[in-house]
A = this chain, B = another copy of it.
């Protein structure tokens, strides 16, 4: 059987998972694929640590360039992460005419245009299935399964750490900080959790998904990013009572010649499939003109799920090498699109607003009048019978669809009116 040589750059958790998976299911995979995938070289700074996977120490090296240049290496797998050395090595491999498989979302979100350009120039594959959704084959689905469709909207729960925290806040009524610490202890959150909880990891993935959906590289700087840091347990509970679950969603949608790419905590109606996605699970719902809504759910991270998707990419690229036809050029971002990224101020949404209102006659009238003046129409108001310190009571307002700019202006005016005990909380509601 024909062999295809793999060179791994980075022998951390996912790298070890790829080696273990290829070893474990070697026969099955060869049988299904008609080609044998063989790991020929592995580069890492640490050659000593035991990864608990079967590997011939002779193929280990500290020299990543030697792996790329090894003539027995047909495909380079980049699992180093980050945008430093990874960027240089991926560029070098592509320029050397070697196809690359990567799980590096940050690299693609920031330097995708440059790297896909190199891949296109060299007519060589750059596969990135594991960069979004871990074990969920969402990239493949968007590039291939839905190829005949116009993508209208993508909604994604793309960060397991955030989803885990939000699930526990809801089920236990616990505060954000408490749950974050527990998540860190359980290994579901990093010591420095900023990338996850401030929404940037989700934003990286949103950029990749929107590029695929719309053939257009969205600069990270154009993405609205609001994380879940400091989300109040009070809002999680009120949302629940109102029939919603709060999720950190990536929202990507097209409206005429504009697209929206945003990441923020969002109230999802309980009956919606995305509301059933709990704990560390991820899911992506894609709305298309032909298929309608489809949803893809699974583990968005972890050694083996991520390795599964890397191996799926390796299978494709290997098949492309055998047929001398790169497969993954499909759906690579093109520069000839003219879509405008809609600024946040111009988006339309329904809103959940919590105001800590001074408990005296007339307070309620003041802010409903202000909202009305800004054209923000109210669909429901609930005054919670819980007096907070300073004589303020929480009032929760659900609005009809309104423009972000109008809501923003209204809230600024309400705040200036002096009836609030703290700044208003504003969350968007999924339609």
Contact = CB atoms under 8 A, between A and B. Distances in A.
A22 B140 contact: no
A147 B327 contact: no
B145 A140 contact: yes
B31 A312 contact: no
Given A148-B21, A273-B276, A325-B319, A291 B295 contact: no
A298 B291 contact: yes
Interface stretch (A78-86, A195-203, A301-309): A301-309
A330 B33 contact: yes
Nearest to A141: B137
Contacts of A334: 31
Contacts of A22: 148
Contact of A292 (B144, B294, B304): B304
A229 B297 CA distance: 31
Contact of A308 (B149, B305, B315): B149
Interface string A327-342: 1011100100000000
Nearest to A296: B296
Contacts of A147: 29, 32-33, 311-312, 315
A289 interface: yes
B312 A150 contact: no
Contacts of A146: 137, 308, 312
Interface in A264-306: 273, 276-277, 283, 288-299, 302, 304-305
Nearest to A140: B145
A135 interface: yes
A144 B148 contact: no
Contact of A28 (B31, B150, B283): B150
A24 to B, nearest CB: 7
Interface residues on A, range: 35 or more
A32 B319 contact: no
A322 interface: yes
A277 B21 CA distance: 32
A324 interface: yes
A215 interface: yes
A23 to B, nearest CB: 11
A417 B335 CA distance: 78
For chain A, what secondary structure do more than half of its interface residues adopt (helix, strand, loop), or is it mixed?
mixed
A147 to B, nearest CB: 5
Given A295-B297, A297-B295, A297-B297, A289 B24 contact: yes
A145 B150 contact: no
A155 to B, nearest CB: 13
A294 B298 contact: yes
A136 interface: yes
Contact of A141 (B140, B150, B277): B140
Nearest to A330: B32
Contacts of A150: 25, 28
Given A28-B150, A312-B148, A323-B324, A292 B297 contact: no
A305 B276 contact: no
What are the 9 closest A-B residue pairs judged by CB atoms, nearest first? Answer: A137-B145, A148-B311, A323-B325, A294-B298, A135-B291, A290-B308, A295-B297, A290-B304, A291-B308
Interface of A: 17, 21-22, 24-25, 28-29, 31-34, 129, 135-137, 140-141, 144-150, 215, 273, 276-277, 283, 288-299, 302, 304-305, 307-309, 311-312, 314-316, 319, 322-325, 327, 329-331, 334
Given A148-B307, A273-B273, 17 more contacts: A21-B290, A22-B148, A25-B148, A29-B148, A32-B331, A33-B330, A135-B292, A137-B145, A140-B144, A144-B312, A146-B312, A149-B308, A290-B307, A291-B299, A291-B308, A293-B299, A319-B325
15 contacts: A28-B150, A29-B147, A34-B330, A129-B145, A148-B308, A148-B311, A273-B273, A288-B308, A291-B299, A291-B308, A292-B299, A293-B299, A294-B296, A319-B330, A325-B325
